[in-house]
A and B are shown apart, each in its own frame.
Chain A
Amino acid sequence: MAVRKSFQEINDKIKRGEAVVLTAEEVAAMGQDHSPAEVAEKVDVVTTATFGPMCSSGMFINTGHADPPIRMERATLNGVPVFTGIAAVDLYIGATENHPDNPAYGGAHIIEDLISGRDVELNASAKGTDCYPRKSIRTTINRDNINEMMMFNPRNAYQNYPVAVNRSNRIKYTYMGSLLPRLGNANYSTSGELSPLINDPELRTIGMGTSIFLGGTTGYVSWYGTQFRTDAELNEYGVPVSNAATLAVIGDASRMSPGFIKAAYYEKYGVSMFVGIGIPIPVLDEELAARVMIRNEQITTSILDYGHPGHPEVGRTDYRTLMSGEIVLEGKKIKTASLSSLYKAREIAGILKKQLQEGSFLLTEPVMAFPRGKGLNSMDIRI
C-alpha cells in the first residue's frame, strides 16, 4: 500500500525521538539503490539548507523612546542611512545600504554588529512635533538596550540560479563575484541537491508559516518572496532551469548568530549579506520521496553571459559538473566557483537534522499555500 504520512504523524514521531531524519545529500545517495516507495517508507524528514549572499534582506529594529522623545525622520547607524519612514523609533536596516564614504561597509555590517552584541552609533534628526519635541539624538545602541530586532528578508532562498560567465574583454565586477574576461571563470550560487526549494519544487510542504532554521535560530516563512514565479521552464526531473520560486522569511535576530549571518562586500558592486537558511521537508508520500532523492547531476541550470547587456543565455550545465570545479563552454574548460558555501549549508542541514532527531524542532504545516501559475512583470518605461 502506498505510504501516506501527515505532518501530525511525523511530529508525533519527532516528539518521541523516533523520526528518521536524513540530510538531502544523504537521501540523494540513498536514492541510488532505493526506490521512492522505499524511501517514503523509511525516511520521515529530509533537511535542506543554503548559505549564500542574499541581497534582499534586512532588519526592523525598535530603539525604544528617549525622554523627551523623538520622531526620527533621518537616521544613520555607524554612518549608514537606515529607513525611517515608519513609526517614530522603528527603523529598517537594509542589508545593501552602504556608508556614503565607504562602499565596502553597509547595512549588513550593522546587522552583523547588532547580532554580535556590539554597540553601534545612532544619529537621528527630526523637525520636532508637539508630541515628539526632540530634534536630534546621538547615542549608541546594542542588542540588549533596544526592544526588537526582527529580521525580515523579502526575497531569500532562490530556487535555482543561473551560472554567471563573462564573454566580454573586460573584467566584470558583479553580485556574482569578479567575472574574468573571455570566459575566464564561471560562478554559481546554489547548494545543488541540498538546496531547499529544489527538493520540493512545487512547494507542497513549504508555505506561509513553515518553521525553518534562519541565521542560527528558528524562523518562519512569512510569505512568498518578491519576484516569485512558477512559470520557469522545467527540466525532465521537474526542476526549474533558472531562478524561479523565492521565499520571504522572518525571525528574531536577537537570537541569531554571526556564524550564520555574515556581511559581504563584492568589489565594485556593493554590500550584501550571507544568510543561512535550513528547511525541513517531510516525506509525506512517494511523490515527495522522489523529489528529495534528486541528485546534483539531475539539476540543470542555465549559464548567462554577464559581459553583454540583458545577460543572454549561452549554455546549460548541471550541479555535478559545476561542483567538479570545471565546466566546458564553447570548447573551453572554465574553472568554476560557488558564491554560496556548501560547507556552511551542510553544517546547517546537520544542525537541523540533529534538532529534529532530538525533538527540539517541530514541523509546521503551512497555513497558506503559495500561488501557482505566477509569472513576472518587467518594468514598462512610460515617461
Chain B
Amino acid sequence: MVLRFPSETVNEPITYTLIREHNVLINILNADISHGKEGQLLIEMAGREEDVNEAMVYLESRQVGISPVVKTILFNEAPCVHCGACVSVCFHGALEMDAQTRKLQFSPEKCVACELCIRACPLRLFELNFGVN
C-alpha cells in the first residue's frame, strides 16, 4: 500500500510507532519523503489481523492517507525499434504489431503487469511502476 503523509506529520516517527506499538511488520519498498514536505511511502504490512486493523486506525488518526497499490508497466516508447521481441511473451494482447505499419502498439488497458516483457525487450524499455489506485 501507499501511505501519504501530510506535511505536518512527515517528521513524526510513524513507521517506528507502527512497528513498536502495533506489532506489525513493515517492509519499505520505496520512499519519497523530505523534511517539511508532503511525503509518500510504498510499504508492505503484515501481522495479526487485529494488529493490522489497529495500525490502520492509528494511521488515519495521524491524517495519513492509505491507498492500495496497483502494479503498472511503464513503456519508454521513443527508443523502440519495433523488433517485436516483446510481442511473443505478451499473452494478454497488450503488445501487438500493427499488421500494416509493423509498429508496436501498446494498449495499457489490456496489460495485467505480468512483467514478462521487461526481460524480453532487448532495449529494456519496460519498467514496473507501483502506482496508487
> Within 8 Å CB of B82, what residues of A?
341-344
CB–CB B85/A343 < 8 A: no
Interface pair A339/B85, CB less than 8 Å apart? yes
Evaluate contact between A267 and B102: CB separation under 8 angstroms: no
CB-defined interface of A158-191 with B at 8 Å, one 1/0 digit per residue? 0000000000000001000110100001110000
Nearest opposing residue in chain B for A334, CB measure? B88
Interface residues of A in 300-354 (CB under 8 A from B): 325, 335-344, 346
Q: Known contacts A274-B83, A343-B82; is A53 also within 8 Å of B122 by CB?
A: yes
Residues of the A chain whose Cβ atoms lie less than 8 Å from the Cβ of B83: 51-53, 274, 338-341, 344
Q: Does B101 contact A (CB under 8 A)?
A: yes
**Bound CA–CA A285/B86 (angstroms):** 41
- Residue among B86, B89, B116, B122 making CB contact with A264, cutoff 8 Å: B122
B-side binding surface: helix, strand, loop or mixed?
Answer: loop
Task: Give the contacting residue for A186; candidates B88, B119, B124; CB below 8 A.
Answer: B88
| Interface flag for A272 (CB, 8 Å) | yes
Q: Give Cα distance in the complex from A348 to B81, angstroms.
A: 13
A261 to B25, CA, bound (A): 49
Task: Give complex CA distance A52, B85 in Å.
Answer: 11
The reply to whether the CB of A266 lies closer than 8 angstroms to some CB of chain B is yes
Q: From known contacts A272-B122, A343-B102, A343-B103, infer whether A262 and B85 are also in contact, taking CB-CB under 8 Å.
A: no
Report if A104 contacts B (CB, 8 A).
Answer: yes
Q: State in angstroms the CA–CA spacing of A189 and B94 once bound together.
A: 22
Q: Does A265 contact B (CB under 8 A)?
A: yes
Closest beta carbon of chain B to A109's beta carbon, Å: 11
* A178 and B89 form a contact (CB under 8 A): yes
**Which of B83, B97, B103 gathers the greatest number of chain A CB atoms within 10 Å?**
B83
What is the bound-complex CA distance between A187 and B86, given in angstroms? 10
A residues engaging B (CB < 8 A)? 51-53, 104, 173, 177-178, 180, 185-187, 262-267, 272, 274, 325, 335-344, 346
20 A-B pairs with C-beta separation under 8 A = A51-B81, A51-B83, A52-B83, A178-B116, A262-B79, A265-B123, A266-B122, A267-B119, A274-B122, A335-B88, A337-B86, A337-B97, A338-B97, A339-B85, A341-B81, A341-B102, A342-B82, A343-B82, A343-B101, A344-B81
